[in-house]
Amino acid sequence: LGARGFVAKTIYDEVPRNADPLGPENLFIVAPGVLTGSFAPCGSKLGFGCVSPLTNGHADSNMGGHLGPEIKYAGYDMIVLERISPKPVYLFIDDDAVELRPAEQYWGMGSLDLEARMKKDLGEDFQIATIGPAGENGVGFACITHDFGRQAGRCGVGAVMGSKRLKAIAVRGTKSLAVHDLPGLTKHTYDIIQRTKPHPNMEPWQKYGTALFVSWANEHGCFPSRNFQTTYHEGWEGISGEKLAEEVLVTHKACFGCWMNCGKYSRARIPGKPDTYLEGPEYETIALCGGSCGMTDIHHVAYANYLCDNLGLDTMSGGNVTGFAMECYERGIITKDDLEGHELRWGNIDDFEHFVGMIAARRGIGELFSHGTRAAAQKLGRGTIEFAEQAKGMEFSGYDTRW
């Protein structure tokens, strides 16, 4: 029903077998869920689909926030983009007005910077999704960003959006939704809220968000550390949910229609760098940009989160790829000469910043790593495939999958 069903059926029917994920035959599909925009609990989800440049299989990536409901309020259940624009554009939707508008003035901007700029240009009542330089440059794990911190991160959907020369989607909708059984939906919604609000996990979930799982994953021995070399991270307390709430949390944030309020708006403070504001970090970012890259400081993880968001890189694959590269550096497989004179040390935020910048620009050895860990290992050789943490071309999530 809704997003995943529409997307999967359309891709199966209309995208030729062996189509180039970044070529004109691939489709880029945007579809809100069947309950999205209603007052049903958590009715915010929006799905993105295509053929993935990482796996060459069906890509299904989702985000919360407010764009999905706005698309429904504009009157649409699915948006399909095909072929390739000859120049950069953005999709403008204002109820029944639908246009592809020039976006040369936005090309090259970071995802977060662009959303702020487009809100200023179009109005605060538009909901906007963007890609960053990584999506423009076809990085295999580029993401799509909305609401200054909600991402469709997985599968490289941002790369496919960029391959269409589509820099952003801006939507304003003023229509209403038709509900088949309004009393029934009202009753079910009320019942769900009443059952979940007193649950003992509700308060810690609201207080720490998904970061509360950092302590659990370490206690159970399934947290990635230094490219999954171990599954317990020495110094995990410094990047825990408790440390997030204590040191970087500014306020809480909720997606549309959600009373759980688990999003975290944070501020990273690192000596020598300007204060940085961001949404997050979520558990997966802490695990993969944090633990898997050897970090033990929540400010560094939050800053890494911001870097990936603005460059338009999935923090899950981005953290995995960087952790893999750090292990390659540790083993002497890549050197400072490959890294433009820089190092790539565990837990070093400056090294992390330089390396992800190389990936997003596909500059130097960043080109090799821009296609993910499997592709990089296949080109590097020297046994690196044995510690390339991926399955079928896409990097692992933030748990030891054997657990």
pLDDT digits (tens, 9 = 90+) for 14-40: 999 999 999 999 999 999 999 999 999
* Structural tokens at position 390: 């991926």
> Using one digit for the tens of pLDDT, what is the confidence trace for 378-388?
999 999 999 99
Residue 1 has pLDDT above 70, yes or no: no
Percent of the chain residues topping a pLDDT of 90:
93
Asked if residues 51 and 262 have their Cβ atoms less than 8 Å apart, the reply is: no
Q: Rounded distance, CA 180 to CA 149, Å?
A: 33
Residue 215 has pLDDT above 80, yes or no: yes
Residue 165 has pLDDT above 70, yes or no: yes
> Using one digit for the tens of pLDDT, what is the confidence trace for 61-86?
999 999 999 999 999 999 999 999 99
Q: Where are the alpha helices (DSSP H) in 248-338?
A: 283-285, 298-311, 315-330
Q: What's this model's pTM, rounded to 2 decimal places?
A: 0.96
Asked if residues 91 and 169 have their Cβ atoms less than 8 Å apart, the reply is: yes
How confident is the model at residue 259, as a pLDDT? 83
Q: Where in the chain are the domains? A: 2-172, 202-395
Cα 318 to Cα 64, 99, 214, 355, 358, distances in angstroms = 20, 33, 19, 10, 12
Q: Rounded distance, CA 50 to CA 27, Å?
A: 6
What is the average per-residue pLDDT within 249-277?
A: 93
Least confident of 24-38, 75-89, 202-216, 249-263: 249-263
Residue 403 has pLDDT above 80, yes or no: no
* Sign of the alpha-carbon torsion through 303, 305, 310, 315: positive
Q: Rounded distance, CA 395 to CA 380, Å?
A: 17
Residue 2 has pLDDT above 80, yes or no: no
Domain 2-172: which topology? Aldehyde Ferredoxin Oxidoreductase;  A, domain 1 (3.60.9)
Longest CA span, the chain: 67
> The tokens 């059952």 sit on which residue?
195
What is the average per-residue pLDDT within 283-309?
A: 98
Q: Rounded distance, CA 141 to CA 324, Å?
A: 15
Q: Rounded distance, CA 78 to CA 266, Å?
A: 33
Asked if residues 155 and 95 have their Cβ atoms less than 8 Å apart, the reply is: no
Average pLDDT, the chain: 96
What is the average per-residue pLDDT within 3-8?
A: 88
Residue 331 has pLDDT above 90, yes or no: yes
How confident is the model at residue 385, as a pLDDT? 98
How confident is the model at residue 133, as a pLDDT? 99
Q: Which of 59, 237, 75 is nearest to 141 (CA)?
A: 59
Residue 238 has pLDDT above 90, yes or no: yes
How confident is the model at residue 21, as a pLDDT? 98
Q: How confident is the model at residue 261 (pLDDT cuts 50, 70, 90)?
A: confident
Residue 184 has pLDDT above 90, yes or no: yes
Cα 392 to Cα 55, 79, 153, 369, 372, distances in angstroms = 6, 28, 17, 16, 11
177 phi and psi, to 5 degrees? -100, 145
Q: Rounded distance, CA 256 to CA 297, Å?
A: 31
What is the average per-residue pLDDT within 323-331?
A: 99
Asked if residues 157 and 50 have their Cβ atoms less than 8 Å apart, the reply is: yes
Write the burial class of residue 93 (CB in 10 Å: 0-12 exposed, 13-18 middle, 19+ buried): buried
CATH number for the domain whose boundaries are 202-395: 1.10.569.10
Close Cβ partners of 195 (under 8 Å, ≥ 6 residues apart): none
